[in-house]
Amino acid sequence: MEVDVIKEDKDLIEVKIIGEGHTLCNLIRQELSDSEGVSFSSYNLKHPLVSSPILSLKVEKGKPRKILLDAVVSLKTKTKHLKSLLNKFS
């Protein structure tokens, strides 16, 4: 996976997530929607086989890059927790 910043302003960031599809982008979008200070989060994937999704984030307060990174860290923590719960069933 590779991430390219397409556009970044004081209240907006758009990133292309190369090598990923709906699954990861939907998780990030939902986590961002639940984050404080976010006014808009979305992604666009023109074609799942030949294009890369572009994730957009607009914030009312805070720095968009930091809010995006915080959302990714939060998802990482939640994933580790889920993995530990699932390991109990093994």
Domains in the chain, please, with CATH? 2-80 (3.30.1360.10)
Say what angle helices 64-87 and 22-33 make with each other, to 10 degrees: 110
Between the CA atoms of 80, 26, 7 and 60, what dihedral angle is there, to the nearest 10 degrees?
-90
Residues 10 and 38: their CA atoms lie apart, in Å, by 13
Q: Report the pLDDT value the prediction gives residue 49, as an integer from 0 to 100.
A: 85
Q: What is the mean pLDDT of the chain?
A: 95
Residues 67 and 52: their CA atoms lie apart, in Å, by 22
pLDDT in 10s for each residue of the chain, 90 residues:
899 999 999 999 999 999 999 999 999 999 999 999 999 999 999 988 889 999 999 999 999 999 999 999 999 999 999 999 999 987
| CA-wise closest residue to 8 among 64, 59, 71 | 64
| CA-wise closest residue to 21 among 31, 32, 33, 29 | 29
